Amino acid sequence: MPGEAVLRHDLSELTGCELRCRARVFAGRVLGFFLDDAGWTLRYISVALQADPPGATRLLPTATLPPVLNVEGCLHACLAPDELRRGHLLAGSIETVSRDDEQTLHDSLHWLPYWLEPGAPASGTLRDAALALGAQLSCCGESFGVVEDMLVDTETWAVSALRIAIHGATGAQRLHLPPSFIRHADWDARCFDSDVRAAALACAPTSSLAAPASQYFDRLQQHLSGGRRMS
């Protein structure tokens, strides 16, 4: 839609960005994100701070980041340098984050944990969001495509859609599949299964844009809802 503010960005675009703190001072670099696999929401960023020893990784809530309109290779945190260093220090490279790690982080920042907020949805396992990239997508058990990237709403940090490269498709057209249409996710095998029939997905609206406008998602949601397999 012309004039629509784009608050959706690819996970690959956000990963590797510079991280700047208050007063736009360079603080470090974004290494990745941790995803709540129940709500498909990015809860934390993992960062390498300039002030930390080489190889050290800290965990910070995505809530410390204001809404991102233009990435331009940089994300800004609403924290001072000393507050950034309160981020939980991770022990080596990990693929999941424990609730104990989360509690330690929120205690150090004196923040109310998101899972205790009124009306908060049930939380799942916190996983390295990059594990979704390259995962196989099937439709009711039938192989369909590969997860190429993840489109993130950088205001709420919820995953808007998985960008799917369809098996056998040519050109730049990609299907953007909202995670609400994933009925089962096997993270160990890196396989996702949709409850939409393959025939319905094959003729779903596609887009060559990295971040399609809301009108595209409205049409897509309507089409996919009609193509779900009846249990």
| CATH number, domain containing residue 44 | 3.90.50.10
Domain that holds residue 200: 133-226
Q: What is the pTM of this model?
A: 0.84
Given 127, 147, 166, the domain boundary residue is 127
Instruction: Judge if 113 and 158 occupy the same domain.
Output: no
The answer to whether residue 3 sits within a structural domain is no
pLDDT digits (tens, 9 = 90+) for 192-228: 999 998 888 888 888 877 778 788 888 988 998 888 7
The answer to whether residue 1 sits within a structural domain is no
The answer to whether residue 231 sits within a structural domain is no
Is residue 77 within 8 A of residue 148, CB to CB? The reply is no
Structure confidence at residue 13 (pLDDT): 92
Instruction: Judge if 74 and 137 occupy the same domain.
Output: no
Given 127, 144, 169, the domain boundary residue is 127
How many structural domains comprise the chain?
Answer: 2
